[in-house]
Chains A and B, each alone.
Chain A
Amino acid sequence: MQTCPCCSNQPFSNCCQPIIAGEIAPTAEALVRSRYAAFVVRDLDHVQHTHAPEISDDFNRAEAERLAEECEWLGLHIHSAKELHDQAEVAFVVKFRRDQKVISKGAISKFRKYDGHWLFVSSKPAPQIEHLGRQKVGRNEACHCNSGRKFKKCCGNLAEAR
């Protein structure tokens, strides 16, 4: 069984896979998860198709394709999700490794429901929640990125260098 890359601990086939394939995301949070998972599995049609119509031309697909390829995706942490009628706001942290650096990016994204489909509207950075996605891990424990090395020799070390 392939676990879903969105960190839900569910099987991929019961979680983001069907949404990436075109099924309706039941919540805005589910859409954040499926859009993240789409970067991991490099299926960016899903990301492109879930932009709100007024911003769909703004998606820099070429850059997104490059980022999807360059980054090693280390995890998604949903901080909070609020929905009211056809509007939603989700705060989350994405963690990835790029250029040998581990980076956490927090964001608050807005979504709107169009004909029953949640679509991405806008996003702003939220550095204040970035620490929340980090797991507490001892310096001598195995690194959470599954490298097999100790944390202090792996991401812990790189995080300090940053």
Chain B
Amino acid sequence: MAKHFQCTACGKCCYGQLPLTWKDAFANVGRFPLCFAWTPVQKGSKDFALASKIGATVTLPNRLEIAILIMPLAYIPSSYPCPALGENNLCKIHDNKPSRCKAMPFYPYREEKFQAELLVPKKDWGCDTSSNAPIIFQEGKIMSRKDFDQEREELLEQVPLLKRYTEYMQKYSYSFVGSLRGKIKGSVVTSLSSFLTATKSPHAKEIAQQQLPILHEYAAKTAEDIKWSDFHKNYVIWAKEMSYLAR
């Protein structure tokens, strides 16, 4: 069935957490508070094959094999706007915005043929999906696929880094990987410092210097908001780690 879609620039999808490619995370280290989200994908899931390819597979302590999607993440509470969302709901970095934003409403963490399910706008979003809007997806194929392919390509490029990160976490944070076992839904987050150590990043110091003021800013923004106390706590502890790395 043909799917129609037209962005109306309502800005509603520019709130909350944003998965990034490492390339985009690195380019925006002075803009977004960053961490990594680990999302288990069970073996029976139709997303398992792709998740194994762009993420990692691990064998849990109970010998169950699962795939894990590991995403660099702009770690922003769902009621907070993207820091690049300008007045009139327009993006302040439109020409250089992350691949994730460009590829909307598609999502290359899932197979192309499953994209139709993702084309249902959330309740208060202003996307035009009427027959007046252009057809963007038909017979299991994306019509205009440049941005989807670009993001997918970046996801494939970063696989060796994510594999190294997973091996590191399995070796040194055995209990963390075990904790993914019971997670049927949702994800667990890890710090940027663990990724930088695991991948032996030569840019750790400059990354930390740019990331530190952002974490301080978000820690201050969330300090008085009990709803986001988990976010606040993470901003504070990650800022401590970045302040050590930034020295």
A122 vs B139: C-alpha distance when bound (angstroms): 52
Given the known interface contacts A124-B174, A125-B175, the answer about A60 and B194 at a Cβ–Cβ threshold of 8 Å is yes
A70 vs B234: C-alpha distance when bound (angstroms): 13
A125 vs B197: C-alpha distance when bound (angstroms): 21
Which stretch (A17-25, A61-69, A81-89, A143-151) binds chain B? A61-69
From 112 to 135 in chain B, residues with beta carbon under 8 angstroms from any chain A beta carbon are none
Q: Do residues A61 and B168 form an inter-chain contact, with CB atoms below 8 A?
A: no
Nearest Cβ on chain B to A40's Cβ, whole angstroms: 18
A63 vs B237: C-alpha distance when bound (angstroms): 9
Q: Do residues A63 and B194 form an inter-chain contact, with CB atoms below 8 A?
A: yes
Total CB contacts across the A-B interface at under 8 A: 39
- Indicate whether A160 reaches chain B with its CB closer than 8 angstroms: no
Given the known interface contacts A61-B244, A65-B244, A124-B174, the answer about A70 and B237 at a Cβ–Cβ threshold of 8 Å is yes
Binary B-proximity of A105-142 (CB < 8 A = 1, otherwise 0): 00000000000000000101100000000000000000
Number of B residues contacting the other chain (C-beta, 8 Å)? Answer: 18
Q: Do residues B174 and A125 form an inter-chain contact, with CB atoms below 8 A?
A: yes
Given the known interface contacts A58-B197, A69-B240, A125-B174, the answer about A63 and B191 at a Cβ–Cβ threshold of 8 Å is yes
- Chain A residue nearest in CB terms to B233: A99
Given the known interface contacts A57-B200, A58-B168, A69-B240, the answer about A63 and B193 at a Cβ–Cβ threshold of 8 Å is yes
A57 vs B200: C-alpha distance when bound (angstroms): 7
From 169 to 187 in chain B, residues with beta carbon under 8 angstroms from any chain A beta carbon are 171-172, 174-175
Given the known interface contacts A59-B197, A60-B197, the answer about A65 and B175 at a Cβ–Cβ threshold of 8 Å is no
Chain A residues with Cβ below 8 Å from B197 are 57-60, 62-63
Chain B residues with Cβ below 8 Å from A125 are 174-175
Q: Do residues B237 and A66 form an inter-chain contact, with CB atoms below 8 A?
A: yes
Nearest Cβ on chain B to A107's Cβ, whole angstroms: 10
A125 vs B177: C-alpha distance when bound (angstroms): 12
Nearest Cβ on chain A to B140's Cβ, whole angstroms: 44
From 207 to 228 in chain B, residues with beta carbon under 8 angstroms from any chain A beta carbon are 208
Chain B residues with Cβ below 8 Å from A57 are 197, 200
Nearest Cβ on chain B to A141's Cβ, whole angstroms: 31
Query: A62's contact among B174, B175, B198, B242, by CB below 8 Å, is which?
Result: B242
Give the interface of B toward A (CB within 8 A). 168, 171-172, 174-175, 191, 193-194, 197-198, 200, 208, 237, 240-242, 244-245
- Can you give 7 contacting A-B residue pairs, CB < 8 Å? A60-B172, A60-B197, A62-B241, A65-B240, A65-B244, A69-B240, A124-B174
